[in-house]
């Protein structure tokens, strides 16, 4: 393919090739470059307090999920308010959170593969880590990896409560796996994980409660099987933003893993909420109108490389009769009703992301705003850490 390679042609970037920071502390929102992910700190802090108070009132631990944001600064604020620890979803994702001083981390997922297990063992010497297991061979390999590093981890056996994804398929499988884990060196059975992502997003509160009741019945069956086998189960982890109001009142969960509550998105914003819980939208995409070629439309400079569209369109804030109708690779389309006043060329607008988790993962930092003033720019240090 020819002799030209990057090594041959690379030139040191002169100062002119440096990109300016997306925002500076003290800037107003209008000075933030776009596309940007911006966090309304007042709403964010309200959300953190609302969930922490809810958990404490019912004597349940809150272990907020860091997969939602991948930003250590956010986890530190949740811990400062009383969260017991955090959840991560991937073993590499854990690294920046340990580097930030966080020492109590549950990996709410199965970790499979020699490289990942070796990393997990090294990390387990730096922090108190638990991890999910749903297979006997995987448990054995986890134990082997820990032994090789003289490390140890807690194991939560994942049970399938209707999500039909990971997890053991029956109370009998749970008991057998828990017993195996208890026999293996360097791993100890710490409890179960019972997470059902699908029911978090059911729109009707009644439907959500009904499906949740079914899941909880199944969790109880598993707990009874453990009890009959004489196996203590100190931790039952699961739950989420959509079911938090039920989770805390159940007698099964010892801790809940909610993540989105801190930010919200159009997906969670679109489900019915109990009056007792009122999470506010704190997370926004800042975009610029880069083209306005006809009165019925405007084109924004955000696309699939700054947000995702699989959970629906982002919601436009502050305009009547104007909606986001398409998200392309680098553009989003606003449709402007006849007679409505859309944003003009060069205007900056705010959008509510359709789905906060994959949106955070597309940004290197989040711009934390106090009112109209940039208070901080927080690195999303675990962005891209999906191994």
Tell whether residue 225 is a contact of its own copies (CB under 8 A): no
Tell whether residue 112 is a contact of its own copies (CB under 8 A): yes
Helix (H), strand (E) at residue 189: strand 187-194
CB of 275 to its own copies, least distance (A): 26
Give the angle 130-134-140 at the CA atoms, nearest 5°: 75
CB of 141 to its own copies, least distance (A): 8
Positions in 348-387 near its own copies (CB under 8 A): 355, 357-358, 361-364, 378, 383-387
Positions in 292-351 near its own copies (CB under 8 A): 292-294, 297, 299, 301-306, 308-310, 327-331, 333, 345-346
Tell whether residue 89 is a contact of its own copies (CB under 8 A): yes
Helices (H), the chain: 6-9, 41-57, 72-80, 94-99, 114-124, 136-149, 171-183, 197-200, 205-228, 244-247, 266-269, 356-360
Q: Using an 8 Å Cβ cutoff, are 129 and 106 in contact?
A: yes
Tell whether residue 177 is a contact of its own copies (CB under 8 A): no
Site string for its own copies, 157-176 (x = CB under 8 A): ---x---xxxxxx-------
How is residue 383 written in tokens? 């962005």
User: Count of alpha carbons within 13 Å of 387, Cβ hemisphere only?
Assistant: 10
Q: Looking at 123-131, 215-223, 234-242, 247-255, which segment touches its own copies (CB under 8 A)?
A: 123-131
Interface pick for its own copies out of 24, 25, 53, 125 (rule CB under 8 A)? 125
Q: Which residues contact 12 (CB under 8 A, 6 or more apart)?
A: none
> How many Cβ atoms from other residues are within 10 Å of residue 321's Cβ?
12
Among 217, 136, 145, which residue's Cα sits nearest to residue 180?
A: 136
Tell whether residue 119 is a contact of its own copies (CB under 8 A): yes
Tell whether residue 260 is a contact of its own copies (CB under 8 A): no
Tell whether residue 283 is a contact of its own copies (CB under 8 A): no
CB of 171 to its own copies, least distance (A): 14
Q: Using an 8 Å Cβ cutoff, are 286 and 324 in contact?
A: no
Tell whether residue 84 is a contact of its own copies (CB under 8 A): no
In the block, which residue shows the tokens 């006849």? Answer: 338
Tell whether residue 30 is a contact of its own copies (CB under 8 A): no
How is residue 257 written in tokens? 């893993």
Tell whether residue 72 is a contact of its own copies (CB under 8 A): yes
Tell whether residue 138 is a contact of its own copies (CB under 8 A): yes
Q: Looking at 9-17, 175-183, 235-243, 273-281, which segment touches its own copies (CB under 8 A)?
A: 9-17
């Amino acid at each position: 393919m020819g002799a030209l390679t990057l090594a041959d042609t690379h030139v040191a970037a002169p100062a002119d090739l440096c990109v300016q920071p997306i925002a500076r502390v003290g800037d107003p929102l209008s000075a933030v470059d776009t596309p940007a992910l911006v966090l309304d700190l007042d709403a964010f802090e309200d959300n953190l307090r609302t969930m922490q108070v809810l958990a404490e009132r019912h004597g349940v631990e809150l272990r907020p999920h860091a997969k939602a944001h991948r930003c250590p600064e956010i986890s530190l604020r949740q811990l400062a308010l009383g969260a017991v620890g955090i959840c991560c979803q991937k073993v590499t994702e854990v690294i920046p959170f340990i580097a930030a001083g966080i020492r109590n981390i549950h990996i709410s997922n199965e970790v499979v593969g020699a490289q990942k297990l070796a990393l997990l063992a090294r990390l387990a010497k730096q922090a108190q880590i638990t991890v999910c297991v749903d297979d006997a061979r995987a448990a054995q390999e986890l134990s082997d990896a820990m032994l090789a590093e003289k490390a140890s981890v807690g194991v939560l056996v994942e049970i399938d409560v209707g999500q039909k994804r990971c997890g053991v398929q029956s109370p009998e499988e749970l008991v057998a796996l828990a017993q195996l884990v208890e026999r293996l060196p360097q791993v100890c059975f710490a409890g179960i994980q019972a997470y059902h992502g699908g029911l978090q997003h059911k729109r009707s509160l009644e439907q959500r409660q009904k499906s949740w009741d079914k899941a909880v019945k199944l969790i109880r069956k598993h707990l009874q099987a453990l009890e009959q086998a004489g196996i203590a189960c100190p931790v039952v982890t699961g739950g989420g933003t959509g079911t938090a109001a039920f989770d805390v009142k159940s007698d099964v969960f010892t801790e809940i893993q909610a993540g989105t509550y801190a930010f919200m998105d159009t997906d969670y914003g679109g489900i019915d909420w109990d009056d007792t819980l009122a999470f506010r939208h704190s997370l926004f995409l800042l975009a610029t109108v880069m083209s306005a070629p006809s009165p019925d439309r405007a084109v924004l400079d955000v696309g699939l490389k700054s947000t995702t569209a699989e959970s629906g369109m982002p919601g436009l804030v502050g305009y009547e009769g104007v909606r986001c109708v398409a998200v392309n690779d680098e553009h989003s389309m606003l449709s402007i009703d006849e007679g409505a006043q859309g944003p003009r060329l060069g205007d900056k607008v705010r959008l509510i992301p359709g789905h906060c988790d994959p949106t955070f993962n597309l940004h290197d930092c989040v711009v934390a705003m106090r009112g109209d003033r940039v208070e901080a720019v927080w690195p999303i240090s675990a962005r891209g850490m999906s191994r």
